[in-house]
Amino acid sequence: MALTPGRDHPQVDLPPGRLRGAIEGGLAVFRAVPYAAPPVGDLRWRPARPHPGWSGTRDATADGPSVPQPYMKGGDPVLGGHGSPPFDEDSLTLNIWTPAADEGRRPVLVWIHGGGFVSGSGSMPNYSGDTFARDGDLVVVTINYRIGPLGYLYTGPEEGNAEGAGNFWLTDQLAALRWIRAHIASFGGDPENITVAGQSGGALSTAALAGHPETQGLIRRVILQSPPFGLDLPGPEAYMERTAAYLELAGVKTVAELRELPWPALIGAAGGLFARTARWGYWPTPFLPVIDGVTLERHPVEALLHGAASGIDVMIGWTREEANFGFALDPAYTAADRERVTARIADTFGARAAPEVYAAYERARPGSRPADVLMDLITDELFRAPALRLAEARARTRRPVWAYQFDLPTPAHEGRLGAAHCLELPFVFANFDQWAHAPFLAGLDPAVRDGLARTMHRAWIAFARTGDPGHPAMPAWNPYDADTRTTMRFDAVVTALADLAGDARRLHATSGSGPSA
C-alpha cells in the first residue's frame, strides 16, 4: 500500500492497481476511483460486484461521468440543477480528499448525496470534500451510486436473481464501504473511525447502511440530514405494480427486453412514471427503496433502534419548512383552498379530526394560508415527526442522539421558500462559492450566512471526529433526552432549545404517519 511521493501528482499503490491523483489547494485528491464493476450489459439490475482492477497507473485527476439521470438545461428555480452531463452507466466511482496520503489514520467522513432517488452525483462541486478535509483534518469520500430506474427499479425474481433481490443502490453503497474499509488507510484515513453522512434520500441510505448486517462494526456514527423517514416503503408485490407501469412506459413487456434498451430510453420512461405515481399533496417519488426481505428487511429508521446499529452515534435534523422546496413555487399548490387541504389532512388523521388538525396548524403559524398549512403538514409527516419519533425512541433506551432544526429562511423568491429542504447544505459544507448557481441562496446577508456556516461546519467536523457536535463557538449542545428534548436551532442566532418541535411531536404522536419507532 505504498505511497509514491510527487509534488503535484501523488500516487498510491493499492491491490486493484496504482492511482495517480492531484494536489488541489494543499490536499491530495483522487477522483473517479472505481469501487465496483461497471453495472452494464448483464450486470444491469444486478447487485454490485467487485471491480477487477487495472494495469498500469490509473489517472485519478479528473471527475468521471455521473450516473444517468434527468437533466434540464438551465436548471430549476430552487437548486439551479442537481447533476449535469456527462452521464454513463459505467460510473460506480468515488472521490477522495485527504490532507496527506500517509499513515495519519484520520477520521473518515463518507458523504452520500440525496436527490429524490433520481438525481445527484458524488462529483458535484456542491459536495466537494475539500472544506471538511482542510478544516477538520478529515479524509472525505463521496460516492456515485445507481439512482432512478437503474438503481431503484425492482425487477422481482428472474434468471440470475431468483431470490428477488432489489435495492441495487444499496448494494453499490455497501460495495463502496467495503472498498473504503479495505483501502482508506492508504489515503491517511482510519478504517475504524468512519462517519457516514447523507441528506434527504442520502440520509435514508445512511440509515439503511447503519442497520445492515454487513456494516456491523464498520460505521461508528451517522449524520442524518432531513431523512424522509415518513415514506411508506413498498414490499415486493406492491412495487411490482409500479414496475409493470414502468415497463409499459418503456414500451417493453419483460425485464429482459428492458435490459436491451439504451439508458437514455430508461431515463425517458422515468418521466412518465412521475405522472403515474403522483398524488396531490404528496412529495413525488416515482422510485423508492423496496423492503425485499433480502437486501433490506425493514424500514431503515427501524434499523437504528435494534441490534448493533443501536450503539451508533446519531445526529439528526431537519429544516423548518422542508416541503416549501417542492410546493411553495407551484401554482397548483399555492392556490389550494381550505377544503382541499382539509381533505388531504384527513388522509392521515381521519375525516373527523381533520378540521381540528387544520386549526392547530393555523395556530402554530399565525396568518397562514391553506398552502402554508399543507406544506407544514407535509414537512411534519415526511421529515420532522418521524425524526422526532426516532429521537424519542433512542432517548428511552439512553442511546445518544443529537437533534437540530435549521431555521434560517432565505429571502429568495420573495421569501416563499422559507427554511426549505436542502438549504442547510451550503452551510454544512461552508462552500457558498460552489453554490453560486443556486437561486435559493439569493439575498442572504453575507455576514449572517458566513457566521452560521462557520458554526454548523465546525459542529459537523466535531461530530465526525468525536461523536459530539459541540464546540466552544456555539451554545452547549446536549443530547436529546426524554426530559429536556434539547434541539439546536440554527438561525441568525444559534440557540439550544427544549422541545423545539414539540407542537409537531404532540400532534403526530398517534397519527401513524411514517414507521413506528
Structural contact between residues 153 and 45, judged by C-beta atoms closer than 8 angstroms:
yes
Identify whether 68 is preceded by a cis peptide bond (ω within 30 of 0): no
pLDDT of residue 513: 42
pLDDT of residue 336: 96
Q: What are phi and psi of 289, to 5 degrees?
A: -60, 155
Q: Write down the CATH superfamily of domain 312-507.
A: Alpha/Beta hydrolase fold, catalytic domain (3.40.50.1820)
In terms of Cα–Cα distance, which of 145, 203, 202 is closest to 174? 145
pLDDT digits (tens, 9 = 90+) for 111-147: 999 999 999 999 999 999 999 999 999 999 999 999 9
The C-alpha cell at 65 is: 461521468
Question: CA-to-CA distance for 125 and 22, rounded, in angstroms?
Answer: 16
The C-alpha cell at 324 is: 416549501
pLDDT of residue 2: 42
CATH fold for domain 3-183+195-303: Rossmann fold (3.40.50)
Active site residue 508: no
Question: CA-to-CA distance for 407 and 488, rounded, in angstroms?
Answer: 10
- Residues 6 or more apart whose Cβ sits within 8 Å of residue 55: 17
Half-sphere exposure (CA, 13 Å, Cβ side) for 333?
Answer: 22
- Which residues, given as ranges, of the chain have pLDDT below 70? 1-7, 511-517
pLDDT of residue 7: 59
Catalytic residue among 89, 322, 381, 424: 322
pLDDT of residue 74: 85
Structural contact between residues 24 and 30, judged by C-beta atoms closer than 8 angstroms:
no
Q: How many CB atoms lie within 10 A of CB 55?
A: 7
Question: CA-to-CA distance for 465 and 473, rounded, in angstroms?
Answer: 16
Active site residue 297: no
pLDDT of residue 509: 87
Pairing, β 486-490 against β 495-498:
antiparallel
SS3 of residue 265 by DSSP: helix
Q: Residue 466 carries which side chain, given as an amino acid letter?
A: T
pLDDT of residue 121: 98
- Whether 312-507 and 3-183+195-303 are alike in CATH topology: the answer is yes
Handedness of CA 128, 132, 133, 139 (dihedral sign): negative
Active site residue 421: yes
pLDDT of residue 383: 98
pTM score, two decimals?
0.96
- Residues 6 or more apart whose Cβ sits within 8 Å of residue 309: 210, 211, 216, 303
Catalytic residue among 51, 299, 421, 457: 421
pLDDT of residue 254: 95
Identify whether 86 is preceded by a cis peptide bond (ω within 30 of 0): yes
Q: Residue 229 carries which side chain, given as an amino acid letter?
A: F
Catalytic residue among 128, 186, 200, 226: 200
pLDDT of residue 177: 98
The structural domains of the chain, with segments of one domain joined by +, span 3-183+195-303, 312-507
